[in-house]
């Protein structure tokens, strides 16, 4: 029965969140649940759906399991899953796993009255990257991207791979967001770029004064310093809500002013 204006509207939505077992993914899933939404969490452990997004089989598992769990209809996808290892797996998860998540679940989004999608990128997208890795990603050539990543590991220890994966996914978002498959289907698609996020991985460095100073030299965050995972989670939640009708193709930094600190010139020139 259709609700009349005098009746309360049921606003609960179904979200898919990858990387839901920890960090930003866990914070996002928890926030959505506190607001009454259903969350289908995906991770390599401790999640509703167990899937390794570095592999084709894992991506197939994700697509099939979400279809079954959701009944073929979801309202939003938030791709958070990522790794920061100086190894090819960073490319296969952060870029190809994220793209596969969004592309494979897009057919389920179109049944929603307000479909939305978002990806977690990173402030590091502004740092030094490997052009060969980035271009292979954007061409959709996973084998070539892995080969380029292996070359980078042999050359310099793969220190640019994380930034390269995030640069590539940010460029993909800007390109895909205005394509007919997303824009004409009415699906806003955006990326959020956190700065330093407090986590089990970063906490030891932040607790050491020398390491903290060195980290903040690379990623200066004059507004409140490193953030809790809840900060990017709040923005991800809004970007994938019905309230967002026109923001698309954006990479929005949640970085305490790091971007503004380092790119001080006229970025619009």
Range of the domain at 245: 14-197+228-257
Within-domain flag for 34: yes
- Give me the pLDDT at residue 41, please: 99
* Count of Cβ atoms closer than 10 Å to residue 268 Cβ: 4
pLDDT digits (tens, 9 = 90+) for 165-205: 999 999 999 999 999 999 999 999 999 999 999 987 788 88
For residue 47, what is the domain's CATH number? 3.40.50.720
* Mean pLDDT, rounded, of the chain: 94
For residue 15, indicate whether it is catalytic: no
Q: Does residue 203 belong to any structural domain of this protein?
A: no
User: Does residue 206 belong to any structural domain of this protein?
Assistant: no
Q: Which residue has the tokens 């167990």?
A: 50
Phi-psi region of 221 (alpha: psi -120 to 50; beta: other; left: phi over 0): beta
Say how many domains are in the chain: 1
Q: Is residue 4 part of a domain?
A: no
Q: Which residues of the chain have pLDDT under 70?
A: 1-10, 266, 268-269
Q: Which of 162, 172, 182, 253 is catalytic?
A: 162
- Prediction pTM value: 0.92
- The DSSP annotation for 212-268 comes to HHHHHHHS--TTTSSBPTHHHHHHHHHHTSTT-SS--S-EEEESTTHHHHH--S-TT
Domain contains 221: no
């Amino acid at each position: 029965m259709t609700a009349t204006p005098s009746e309360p509207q049921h606003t609960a939505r179904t979200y898919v969140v990858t990387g839901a077992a920890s960090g930003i993914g866990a914070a996002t899933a928890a926030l959505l649940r506190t607001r009454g939404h259903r969350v289908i969490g995906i991770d390599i452990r401790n999640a509703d759906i167990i899937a390794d997004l570095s592999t084709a089989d894992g991506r197939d598992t994700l697509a099939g399991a979400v279809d079954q769990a959701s009944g073929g209809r979801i309202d939003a996808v938030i791709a958070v899953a990522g790794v920061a290892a100086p190894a090819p797996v960073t490319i296969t998860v952060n870029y190809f796993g994220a793209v596969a998540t969004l592309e494979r679940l897009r057919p389920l989004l179109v049944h929603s009255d307000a479909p939305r999608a978002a990806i977690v990128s990173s402030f590091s997208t502004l740092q030094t990257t490997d052009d060969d890795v980035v271009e292979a990603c954007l061409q959709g050539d996973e084998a070539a991207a892995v080969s380029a990543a292996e070359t980078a590991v042999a050359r310099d220890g793969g220190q640019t791979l994380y930034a390269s994966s995030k640069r590539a996914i940010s460029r993909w978002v800007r390109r895909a967001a205005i394509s007919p498959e997303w824009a004409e289907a009415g699906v806003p698609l955006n990326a959020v770029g956190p700065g330093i996020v407090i986590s089990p991985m970063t906490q030891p460095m932040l607790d050491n004064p020398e390491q903290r100073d060195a980290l903040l030299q690379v990623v200066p965050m004059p507004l409140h310093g490193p953030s809790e995972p809840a900060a990017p989670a709040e923005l991800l939640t809004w970007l994938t809500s019905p309230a967002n009708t026109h923001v698309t193709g954006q990479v929005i930094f949640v970085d305490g002013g790091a971007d503004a600190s380092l790119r001080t010139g006229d970025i619009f020139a």
